[in-house]
Chain A
Amino acid sequence: MNCVEWEERIALYAGGDLVPAEAQAVERHVSECAGCQVLLNGLRESLALVRDAHVEPMEAAHFAAVRARVLAELESAPARRWRFAWIGAMAAAAAVLLMALWPRSELRLAMPMPQVQAAPAVARTVPTPHRKVVAKPRPPQPVEEAAEPMVVKLLTDDPNVVIYWITDTKGE
């Protein structure tokens, strides 16, 4: 039998994980304890066995298979990204068409853009969440007859797709 209290230190010693002072203490003990000598030998043999097995060469086909899968995934990435981008774009276009065909009296969406001067009384912020359109019937207001262009900013579920709709104040 080996001494339980020495087991952890002997296991660390077998792998070279003790500082010199601790290692010397283990060596002294092992030289006087047959059970711990057997434990140390067993630890060394099992470590040598698994290390030998670990460094045995592996079939190159396994590495090649991983490489091929990774490269195929990366090569297909652009096509897939564009496919999703177009899905988002088409959804946005459909939303715009829907708004264009909506009864004019209910269409009162606008968001002022820095580069376009919008009629102050008409400009409103598109509410969140995205694509939730709040269309409330409003009584006609004189300022809506102003001729300045109006910009509608449409946010879609795809953060990469933003649609600006520039129109006159009548929604034409």
Chain B
Amino acid sequence: MNELEKEIQDTFKGISIKRHSPKRVYIEIDKEGAHELARFLYEEKGCRLVTATGTDTRKGYEILYHFSMDKTGIIYSVRTVVPKDNPKIMTLASFLPATNWIEREIWELLGIEFEGHPNLKRLLTAEDFPEAYYPLRRGE
């Protein structure tokens, strides 16, 4: 565990840090904490948002925010789970424009609502694509 990971461990409650391989680290946190952790990584530590991955899992809809620390070449993936009966999470686009498109994409393909997003409308699918049909949800 390096200094940054120790600092994350001390600052944020209820998290688990897993090192998958030397340059790939996964951090699990609840959805309120994920927003703060993302802000901490971007604003204070100078990490770059690579992208986010939305996945339908048994536990809920999982979002992985992949941050790259370019100085060390380590990717920190912040993992958080959004409940299926209320798929809502705070947007990161309010302070990080790089998440603007990817949050729109996750919203239209997986149906997670990003609260406070400045322009939450369709990015990839056609205008006549059916409403409230999310191709990346299992069983749809």
Partners in one complex: no
